[in-house]
Amino acid sequence: MTELNPQFAAEAKATTSEAMFQLSELFYTRTDERGVIEAGNTIFQRVAGYEWNELLGAPHKLVRHPDMPKGAFQLVWDELKAGRTVAAYVKNKRKDGRFYWVFALMSPAGNGFISTRMKPSSEHLQTMTGMYQDMLAEEEGGLSPKASAELLLSKLAENGYSNYAAFQATVIAAEFEMRARSLGRPVDQLQKRFLDMSRAIEQVETETTEMTEAFKAIRTVPMNMRIIASRLENAGGPISAISVNYSQMLEEMSTWVSTFVDGDACVFARIRDAILQGQFLGFAMALEQEMIEILKGSGAEYPEQVNLQEETKMLEGMRAKYLEQTSDALSSVENEAKRFGRSVLDMKRYVTGLSSTRMMCKIESASLSNSGTALSGIVDQLDACQNEIEQRLARIVELNSVIQGNTSMLRSLI
């Protein structure tokens, strides 16, 4: 539900378990290094249900809901203490006991931390709610916060996220897009470009996975060739030589596959992580810009302890930091895209070698009357697998071009 729904006002006033607030509203708080609230905006104060004198100087855990697992906060604090910006779904509790969910962007700032929060509206909240419930149940059974945080990471991995950074980059984009769509607002070009690259690299992963499966399907070809050669005795010499050559090519292709797609430092992982980092920072920058505009448009409803000019200045500094980090991430994407392209060219050379082997197999198959049928089956298998590999490689090249094209456009925006 959004503020555009005529029932919003009535339901917001109703005594229900969930505290209602508008999709267009953003929360802001700043704490010291211990998590003690030093400033906030009126939206946070209103939805939390406390008076200003109850909030300022109080620990931020004042609004912590018991449904939140300690492992989630363990992960957040680990990231913040390492100097990194982090985002997370958080369930909070009002003074009257009602709850409200936020998607929080948190970052070290000065001698403390700042947090800008929006109302979640994507399907990811439901997924995370289930994970939090599982973590909470394990914690009630004695699981430590650290182990609970590791449990969250393992659950995210089961859902296809390589790490928490990949998850938060995906979710901040989804929440921002869903919110913008509901409010009838556009997503600006910088964010769109990173989304285009993110979707392209997702497709690269699909194409690479399928190509790897096609490659695995021909791993038995050399053995089958040797079996045919042994049956032909002296006449099988050429086939035996082809099988040795083919085995060498497959070994080289195996090395390529492991360099390209295996492990956190592979070619694919490096470009994916660089794109997702840029995406996360790009949307974080947009969120902080909106918060800046909200604070600049605020009136005199703040207590004297909250200096809006200083808070705005701090947020502007954070936005500038995100912009610089986005530029660095873009440089990484550019470098990795070049590395990515060179790696694909290597694979193309291997495929060309396969084509030569396939041709030699066809020649031998035509010259053999007795076993030609068996060798013909191998040729057919090579035809099908090579065609699929070539098509998927061509698609990967196209997708890398999409990524490189967007990096060029982004350079004009940053």
Domain count for the chain, please give it. Answer: 2
Q: And the tokens for 267?
A: 């070619």
Q: What is the 8-class DSSP label of residue 38?
A: E
Judge if 340 and 400 occupy the same domain. yes
Our measurement of the distance from residue 235's CA atom to the centroid of its chain's CA atoms, rounded to an integer in Å, reads 56
- 3-class SS of residue 112: strand
213 and 144 belong to one structural domain: no
Q: Are residues 65 and 138 in the same domain?
A: yes
- Residue 180 falls within a domain, yes or no? no
Residue finishing a domain among 118, 140, 160: 160
CATH, residue 325? 1.10.287
Name the residue range of residue 66's domain: 8-160
In the beta sheet, which residues pair with residue 13? none
pTM given for the model: 0.87
| 3 state SS of 264 | coil
Would residue 182 count as lying in a domain? no
Tell me, yes or no, whether 179 lies in a domain.
no
What's the pLDDT score for residue 350?
Answer: 81
The CA–CA distances, whole Å, from 391 to 251, 384, 386, 397, 401 equal: 21, 11, 8, 10, 16
Query: Which tens digit of pLDDT belongs to each residue from 362-377?
Result: 787 777 665 556 777 8
Contact 163, 237 (CB under 8 A): no
Domain check: are 333 and 259 in the same one? yes
Judgement on whether residues 337 and 193 belong to the same structural domain of the protein: yes
Rounded distance between C-alpha atoms, residue 361 and residue 378, angstroms: 8
Residue 170 lies in a domain: no
Low-confidence ranges of the chain (pLDDT < 70): 1-16, 368-373
The answer to the question of residue 210 being in a domain is yes
Specify the CATH number for the domain of residue 120.
3.30.450.20
235 with 382, same domain? Answer: yes
Asked if residue 148 and residue 284 are part of one domain, the reply reads no
Widest pairwise Cα distance in the chain: 97
Q: Is 134 in the same domain as 240?
A: no
The pLDDT value given to residue 16: 55
- Which of 122, 144, 160 lies at the terminal end of a domain, its last residue? 160
The reply to whether 178 falls in a domain is no
Answer with the one of 112, 144, 160 that is the final residue of a domain. 160
For 377, other C-beta atoms within 10 Å of its C-beta total 13
User: Quick one: pLDDT at residue 246?
Assistant: 80
Q: Let me know whether 202 and 92 are in one domain.
A: no
Q: How far are the Cα atoms of 31, 236, 303 from residue 355, in angstroms, in the given order? A: 64, 21, 75
Q: Whose CA is closest to 295, among 318, 324, 327?
A: 318
Question: Which token pair is 273?
Answer: 């992580």
pLDDT digits 0-9 by tens, 234-291: 777 888 888 888 888 888 887 887 788 877 788 889 999 999 999 999 999 999 999 9
Q: Which two tokens stand for residue 3?
A: 């503020």
Considering the domain boundaries, does residue 184 fall inside one? no
Q: What is the pLDDT of residue 12?
A: 46
Q: What is the pLDDT of residue 1?
A: 43
Q: Residue 168: inside a domain, yes or no?
A: no
- CA nearest to 56, candidates 227, 264, 307, 248: 307
**Together in a domain, 206 and 112:** no
Asked if 314 contacts 297 with a C-beta cutoff of 8 angstroms, the reply is no
Q: Are residues 148 and 199 in the same domain?
A: no
